[in-house]
Structure 1
């Protein structure tokens, strides 16, 4: 059962990058993101709000404000960078791989800030992971991709946004229930992207079927499938194992994008993805050392903040 759930999780999480590509040709980025999160906010806020009142678990104004900031960083800022990069022509696999090294960057850079000891091999893993990203990016750019050279920097901005959200999350004195946090994050994104869509004059949804298929794809597979399975697996197998699964997303996305959209997938791309997986193995061996810590919590700085793709 756990193996099946793990496969579904990787597929659903990867589907977010594919859905971004699917919707890129049918609407502007703010339009697609506005209509992705507006229905989610309308559905989630009343349900979660009513449940919180009944259980007397409403967040304090300070906790609410912190979750808004986390949502803007881990969801709004991150997804805007992903969709923008894909819309400009960056391959979905390349974008997924750059996102995939976020746990390595967070563990290496935020560990000292948060007072967590960072083993030397985690730094080694980060360097190897960055090497894999460089190889895949070079293969993507050299295969005649339509994206301008500067577009490859955009996913890195999203990764920085994720790292910043991890820092804010780890500094929080109290935790917020996952569904409650999801409702706050989706509402924040709905406000951000609705504002952007109206400001750019692109709020009206297009009438083409591709747009609505992409929206259904993103809401069902990426948000509910990816995010829901993440929390389910976190309780079943722990954060270290889930983080390991996250690194399978880049190769799955790269193959999926090549098959579905004809994106480039060269031997050099495969080599770069293999190097990225090697980085995971290096870091995972460090994380799997015996320790007296509950792996079902978000105490690991490598992936404390999770966004719905």
Structure 2
């Protein structure tokens, strides 16, 4: 019989807050890094750094090759490739960090379709609020929140949801090993797409003329955000349970929006602020609604 998860300690809570801070600030780092370098190249470098040399020290996860490849493409090309492109095209770091959390809703809907999982009433309520908020943000789309980057960000969140379903299809696979080994897959297709869209000369100049601050940003995204962040987060979930740790990820967009406001002076006019508040409220209801909602039959 397995031991029950341990309660969160002050040290574990501090580590969880540190990781959510890193993940939130990462959106600002992405915004800065893609300003002068093709976004798909930046994404390729991020995953190359995350994979090497870690794959020599982390065991390969017990997962079928097709699932490993599917996960790598869903996370690397669809999720982060589209996210980096959206941010380069005008999506703000703060709004990007918030809208990416809609992966929770896409995951529920896809799991209901693919695995026949039940959708609970509080999840429906949360999705309704959040998608209403996104509709409001879309209606106010313009210079502040361009429509096409908004759609790309939602497509990136969908890619995240697809990767969640792939993980569900491989129970027992070591999650940290899955992240490290799957990071070997995205660099080549991302680099090829970057060369075809931006031009090989542009890629060459970016690789040879970028200064140390750009490479520091790549190291932060690959090692700090992916390897260190996911490694600590996985350990916290294994020790304390997903129910105690996972809801803390709602702090990621909080740190993302705060850091974007500080660094890029991102503003929140009334329509955008109300839409963001509805999305955040919907996410909170989705995560905590099971504790608040009176038990009713599933939909």
Which range, TM-score by smaller chain? 0.7 to 0.9
Distance 1:123 1:267, change over 3 A: same
2:177 is the counterpart of 1:180: yes
Distance 1:18 1:212, change over 3 A: same
The normalised TM-score by structure 2 is: 0.82
CA contact (8 A) 2:176 2:231 kept: no
- Once the two structures are TM-superposed, the CA of residue 232 in structure 1 deviates from its matched residue by 2.2
Candidates 250, 253, 278, aligned match of 2:253:
250
Distance 1:118 1:207, change over 3 A: closer
Distance in 1 between residues matched to 2:44 and 2:264, nearest whole Å:
24
- Once the two structures are TM-superposed, the CA of residue 257 in structure 1 deviates from its matched residue by 0.7
| Runs of 5+ unmatched residues, structure 2 | 1-10, 293-299
Candidates 15, 37, 50, aligned match of 2:47:
37
**Matches for 1:201-280 after TM superposition, within 5 Å:** 201=200, 202-204=202-204, 205=207, 206-280=209-283
2:111 is the counterpart of 1:120: no
- Once the two structures are TM-superposed, the CA of residue 159 in structure 1 deviates from its matched residue by 1.5
CA contact (8 A) 2:40 2:84 kept: no
Distance in 2 between residues matched to 1:113 and 1:158, nearest whole Å:
19
Aligned length: 277
Distance in 2 between residues matched to 1:26 and 1:208, nearest whole Å:
11
For 2:16, the equivalent position in structure 1 comes to 6
CA contact (8 A) 1:108 1:122 kept: no
Distance in 1 between residues matched to 2:49 and 2:106, nearest whole Å:
33
| Runs of 5+ unmatched residues, structure 1 | 53-57, 290-309
**Matches for 1:1-309 after TM superposition, within 5 Å:** 1-48=11-58, 51=59, 59=62, 63-137=64-138, 141=141, 144-145=143-144, 148-172=146-170, 174-199=171-196, 200-201=199-200, 202-204=202-204, 205=207, 206-288=209-291
Distance in 2 between residues matched to 1:214 and 1:14, nearest whole Å:
14
CA contact (8 A) 1:94 1:137 kept: no
Distance in 2 between residues matched to 1:32 and 1:109, nearest whole Å:
29
- Once the two structures are TM-superposed, the CA of residue 125 in structure 1 deviates from its matched residue by 0.8
Distance 1:45 1:261, change over 3 A: same
Distance in 2 between residues matched to 1:151 and 1:265, nearest whole Å:
17
Find the residue that maps to 2:172 and give its secondary structure: coil
CA RMSD of aligned residues (A): 2.6
Q: Which piece of structure 1 moves more, 14-23 or 260-269?
A: 260-269
CA contact (8 A) 1:250 1:273 kept: no
The normalised TM-score by structure 1 is: 0.79
Distance 1:210 1:114, change over 3 A: same
- Once the two structures are TM-superposed, the CA of residue 38 in structure 1 deviates from its matched residue by 2.2
For 2:297, the equivalent position in structure 1 comes to none
Distance in 1 between residues matched to 2:252 and 2:266, nearest whole Å:
16
